[in-house]
Structure 1
Amino acid sequence: MVLHCQLTAAGYSKREPVLENIQFTVQPGELVGLIGPNGAGKSSTIKSLLGVIDYVDGKIDLENYAYIPERPFFYPGLTLMEHLHFLLSTLEIEEKEFIKRMQKMLREFQLEKVVHQYPDSYSKGMQQKAMIMLAFLQQPKVHIIDEPFMGLDPTVVRKLLDMIEWEKQRGAGILMSTHVLDTAEKICDRFLLISHGKLIAEGTLTDIQKKSELPDASLFDCFHILTERGEVNDRLGII
């Protein structure tokens, strides 16, 4: 187990928590999809894991992780190359090995010509590629990825999926929040479905199909029925 989350409650104040009874694990070499409607609590769950939410009642076991945010951010006044050299200074890794992998990723993501420019001047897609580079070069035990496919063209999405698979083979655990359910269905080992701040379903696609009573249905169809059922139960006060 590389990530364990056991939240009794979490949110922006103790009196009004936005998450309740969220419990899950991520194993080495496992890709877990975090899915749910807008406002369901996915971002709050990630913020709880990262320790950047105001109130947390529970236990989180997480170390040596890399985070790819939905909205890329960079250190002001540093070029991408300076970001990369700073990252290298924080890692216990052979410099030659790091530079070899760095140069390979720069070529694959077509960032070689802009590596000495400031990422703030990049397009959204280029910024996202730069964030992916900085995260995957760390080779952490856990990747936390928030909406990774936003702003990426199909070619880069394919490269990202290949990199995710390589990280799984290396033994890294991955928690990925996404709205792209058709892709998630193909690549995720398990799913966590959050609605109204509660975990309403979890498990493999087969588990989700059983929970939704839709044998052989797509993740999209299961998502729809379970979310609607969760909203009804929430209105009725049914746990």
Structure 2
Amino acid sequence: MKPPIYQIFGSENSLDVDLVFFIEKMPETILEKLALSKQLSQSIISFFPEKEINANLAVSQNGHLIEVYKGTTDELNNALFYTYDFHSQKQENQIAKLLIRDVDLKFLRSTRMILSFASKTEYRVLVKDALKGNLSEKMNVLQNLDLTKNISFGKGKNNHDIIKSIAFQLGQCMALQDNKELYTKNQIADCFPELRKYLFREENVNLNDLQKGLLHFVELLKIRSLNMRNTSEYKYEDENDFVYAK
């Protein structure tokens, strides 16, 4: 097997290595995607002996992504482009064109992600019902989550990692609402200083600012939902025309 083409992306000071393997065709099933992701990661593990590899798969065409394994096509495409120079790369930037961001899709995906983080907390019953329900049900549960409580996100889960992930999603959404694309912890912390302590996993901090961010996110989502064409999560490429790629 020839060496895989891959590209690192994301925060320049990430504790792990986030990268994308470029493949010819996306496997059909989740199990096949997972197996290929693990196989390709194993082939380069010697290059990152002290870090965990968080691998994704993507198919590109005409200088931009057209399909991804994890995440949304537009976000991953632009993250690869904008954060290329933050890392030591083995290949030239595989992304030559930016995609128009689907802000509604970002809000829908972040809604599901934040709820999923809380699926092992004391809110598990409400959260699991909301994840099966419509957007209105999801918003109702989100606005009733109290992150300021001393809650556990589940056995084997690192609270600091999940809090960081929630802060990251909130920061990205609030910025994208104002047409700003942020793809690193430093960028989000500079734009929203109140989230810095969570993004950098500081010890012994209260979650008051995170709670405020969550409630603000819900209010933005409620307003956006009034004009959404689709209030259920979808694939970027199913709802957007790639002729708008820049």
TM range (shorter): under 0.3
TM-score (norm 1): 0.23
From the two aligned structures, give the one with the greater helix fraction.
Answer: 2
TM-score (norm 2): 0.22
